[in-house]
Structure 1
Amino acid sequence: MVGLSALFVSQVLLAPVLLVPVLSKSALANESLLGGRAFSPPGETIPMGDDWDAKGITHTTNTEVDLAVALDQQLYPAMGPMVEAFAKERGVKIAVQDGTCGVSAGVLANKTADMGGFCCAPSVTDRLPGLTYHTVGIGALALITHPSNPVNSVSLNEARALFGNNIRDWSELPMSGMKLGDSEKVRAVTRLHCKIRPGHWRLILDTEQQFGWNITEVSAIKDMISQVSSTPGSIGYETLWHIDQKGLQESRPLKTLLVNDTDPRDLSAVATGKYPLYRVFNITSWGSGPAHTKLGTELAAYLVEHASQMEAKFAIVPAQDLRKNGWIFEGDELIGEPK
């Protein structure tokens, strides 16, 4: 991050990713038989062994810091200024890495970071002994199409059929807006990141095997934006901030679809759960054990408290608003949708 105070150090945390075993669990079909569950059981943790349990945090930054933080690529710009403000207030040095959920998981598992930031709810393998999750908020996962597409709205089941190759032409939709005799093949574009974590794209279809055989899979957000904006008939998904930011950078217009007649840009609908697709943004602290620090716990509390002050362009509904609308929390962690 450019132009931050000298007390706020932006660096890469140099650490290899520690591989941990994946625990196989069947998805709970909460909203549908096709969509996956939105959260993992909060009471479960993955054992890491006595030697790991006895370790504290070892910073691998190039300069001495008081805290090392890794944030995913949306929380980094959204919460970086808040980390800077905290560092100024306390007169401390905080190194922050702009990364991904995988980067955050790796540095936490290797105990080289005091905090990680995620754009997904944690999997069981993310639940390390002594690690506490704090939900910052949620953001709509918007469905996007080529701007020439006359379709404006789909139901959630129609979206699943479009991605699952059960609807193969846009003209098959009852409200396609297409003229009689017109045809446009469906071209589904996916970015199947964070496969072990619940929620996000898995709310559309739970596993990659459920997506159509003819999908175009991309690995980067910019490629999702580029592919959908340049391909008539395409459909993809991404958070609103990435859609707006990458679309502007690449000069590529996109069309966002209503889902169940609900606009993903209507944050009140996201807050009440009326809009059904979303990502969960979490940060972590070490609540116990040798990795715990008072300063790390205080930073986590500060960020959750100030989450409502994130700029509107990030389109994140803060945890405070989710609580008001009946979402289920255990401590600071969001674990369930409104009933």
Structure 2
Amino acid sequence: MSAEYATFGLAPAMRAGGVLANGDYQAHRDFVDFIVDGRPLLFQLSDLDAVSPLASDVPPSIFTAQVRGLLLEAEAPLTRGRYVIYGCPECADLACGAVTAVIERDGDDFVWRDFAWQTEEEADLRLNGYTGIGPFRFHGPEYRSALQSLLRESAADSSARRRVLLIGARVAVLAKLAAALRAIGIGADIAHDATGVSPDELRTYGVVAFGRVVGETDREAVRLAFDRAGVQVAYVEGLAPIIPLLVAQIEHALDRSPTEQRRLTRLVAVGGQAGIEITSTCRVELTAYRLDRLYRPHTYRFFDGILPAGQHRIGLDPGTTKGNSFIVARTAGTVLVEPMTAD
């Protein structure tokens, strides 16, 4: 077989959840992505909103079965030796579409070939094959070592830290925020502080979000409690009592993927313009949130389209940035948030 050797690795990745501008909910999914020649394989598939079968929220037995399948220690789930490489992040149903490929052994090597978009039991390579992607030949020891390392780790580790501790005084806002987070698959608890919480309980949190009225003394007491428990968490300072905005801030804080392997790497919001930097062609959504003089929230989705890799600058209508306004930039895997500032 003529496939050239490619390097194989794994890295944590995220399908960003959130409350979208139209009010819909998008599920949060943590998964392990395939790194081929130093770059996420998902990025080679243009603008695809999908996750690998190595997701942290699947039962351990299914997670193990998926790993053993990729190691060819289990029968292929689809006909003609085909395996699901990426699937629907909402339901994982083949009918929604999936990227599949043949995985086979060639001596001590593993080969991934004949990538296709598949919605039925049989893949049609002529109509739905991915031209220009693969075949990839992986050295057996490198390939097996990467996947076997997942079996030695607890598949529940990442999902156990997908909980958020919400601390603030505005109970109504916190309750709405907790409900929104739970709706997209993120656990959330509400508290006034961390006093009396056991270290084991603190270790289940990955993010602590402070309301704007929480004083610095109270914030420092919370940080001290986590430090004493030996727990490193991300801290979020709530920008405004706007639920989609707060969810986006928390999504960003939960992102554990390596920075160099993200599609959206930079957001600047200055002078009525949003500047973004992306590493590969993908769909980008830009939404502005604003509080008026009566502290009523307003939402403006001012861009939704596919952009090529590089830096882009997109202007907003001046009316959308009056007063306190904030910009959320979103791709399938990354969310960034910035307050709008003057020139």
**TM-score, normalised on structure 1?**
0.22
Structure of greater Rg: 2
The TM-score with structure 2 as length reference comes to 0.22
Larger RCO (CA within 8 A; separation ≥ 6)? 1
Q: Quick check: which one's strand share is greater?
A: 2
